[in-house]
Structure 1
């Protein structure tokens, strides 16, 4: 039982990051559903490593360099998986006139104007938010935000049908998640934020971020009648940016 769960955690880690996980073997047909509950935990790991990079580099470098380093570390760990999804999704939704054309654009590895602007905007928002915090608070926000962002993708997968066609990195629906698996995902996605930021700050920032991510999901429902792996990347990135902004506003307040 424990070995089985460790394997599903390693699958989630391998799917979402570039971190070495060792041998896994052939993935079972329901690998996405069974490993999804551990994706928020992967977010905790990514956020913790990136947050540690901010705190450690702040001992030697002036702002805003530690913040930039932390964001770059997070991108390196994930192999820009979510950023790629954001770019492809905005290119597709901005440039496609039909559902078929939007899905075709998502398959295209090239990046367009919409995708470029989306990446610049999201990275600027995340960087500007984190640089306003102390290195320690920035690290805490990183961990809570990355965990919540992965939970947002699970919610999206559970609420929308897959757009089909093998057009992206994810092609299985998460409808078969059990109650216990959903409970684990919720716990791993929410508890870190409660512990690190406090109930009031975390709940307010998370609600704002979930609302922002839900807009992407609703647009995806209208544009392509479901989600793809790229859409999940966009949901993750929008959640992160919105969470960082809201948490910073609550912690620091207006100047």
Structure 2
């Protein structure tokens, strides 16, 4: 007999589980929850990831809004926003990006690459990846602020959060785990339907936020397309070099997707401003 999937715990509980897993934001125990420190079952729970992502990005969006309205320079506002994001997540995704860069580009074979990715120390490839990610995100957020103002930039931070994480969820659903004992294998593989629900909710929410903040929908869709392309390229590279996905690869996908979304918006805003 096949194991039946777990009973869906409810959207609110699922959102709380996702917030705890993806961030360091404090969330009280909700009725119906089990072990708060246990490994979540990702077969169904991540359907609520878009709601959790909005909650995780909200402090950064508020910092962006306040800094922009206060007249701070674009790079200062961007640096504050990225700091708030890192504090909310505990640099969860940045760590995955650095480990992925070190392992994929610094290893000589599959086992060596996976060994490097488990090492908590950062190498030259990881440091370069982190530096470029921070530089690109800060520059793009500053550029969006110049064209869209404080409200538009705060909205951009919010729309990037759900889709970039949903791209990582799609990777989990479509690629096998590279190691049997890794974190991505332990949480369980989400179904493709779960990933599609998360992407659909992310698209609906992002469209509503973009319309309310007068962000160009063409830029939003371009950013999502670029994010999907970047995730597909990294997925293919990881499949070839290490045999599938790991938690670090999922974190790297989030970082690349976030950059891509900001890039799409910045390009559209720059073109419209000509």
- Normalising by structure 2, we get a TM-score of 0.85
- Secondary structure of 1:32 counterpart: coil
Please report how far the alpha carbon of residue 96 of structure 1 lies from its aligned counterpart in structure 2 after TM superposition.
0.5
State the partner residue of 1:104: 115
Q: Counterparts of 1:248 and 1:89 in 2: how far apart (Å)?
A: 27
- After superposition, the C-alpha distances for 1:107-145 in whole angstroms (9 at most, x for unaligned) are 100000000000010111111011012222211111111
- Secondary structure of 2:121 counterpart: coil
Q: Counterparts of 2:139 and 2:28 in 1: how far apart (Å)?
A: 37
Instruction: Map residues 21-36 of structure 1 onto 2, 5 A cutoff.
Output: 21-23=27-29, 24-26=33-35, 31-36=41-46
Asked if 2 retains the 8 angstrom alpha-carbon contact of 1:162 and 1:172, the reply is: no
State the partner residue of 1:185: 198
Please report how far the alpha carbon of residue 245 of structure 1 lies from its aligned counterpart in structure 2 after TM superposition.
1.3
Q: Select which of 158, 178, 183 maps to 1:143.
A: 158
Residues 57 and 219 (structure 1), Cα distance of their counterparts in 2 relative to 1, 3 Å cut: same
State the partner residue of 1:15: 21
Instruction: Map residues 1-255 of structure 1 onto 2, 5 A cutoff.
Output: 4-23=10-29, 24-26=33-35, 31-60=41-70, 62-63=72-73, 64-133=75-144, 134-168=149-183, 171-176=186-191, 179=193, 181-182=194-195, 184-198=197-211, 199-253=217-271
- Normalising by structure 1, we get a TM-score of 0.91
- Secondary structure of 1:25 counterpart: coil
- Secondary structure of 2:186 counterpart: coil
Residues 5 and 100 (structure 1), Cα distance of their counterparts in 2 relative to 1, 3 Å cut: same
Please report how far the alpha carbon of residue 95 of structure 1 lies from its aligned counterpart in structure 2 after TM superposition.
0.7
Asked if 1 retains the 8 angstrom alpha-carbon contact of 2:96 and 2:249, the reply is: yes
State how many pairs are aligned. 253
Does 6-15 or 86-95 show the bigger shift?
A: 6-15
Does 23-32 or 81-90 show the bigger shift?
A: 23-32
Gapped regions of structure 2 (runs ≥ 5): 1-6, 212-216
- Provide the alpha-carbon RMSD of the alignment: 2.2
Residues 208 and 176 (structure 1), Cα distance of their counterparts in 2 relative to 1, 3 Å cut: closer
Asked if 1 retains the 8 angstrom alpha-carbon contact of 2:239 and 2:245, the reply is: yes
- Secondary structure of 1:235 counterpart: helix
Q: Counterparts of 1:60 and 1:203 in 2: how far apart (Å)?
A: 30
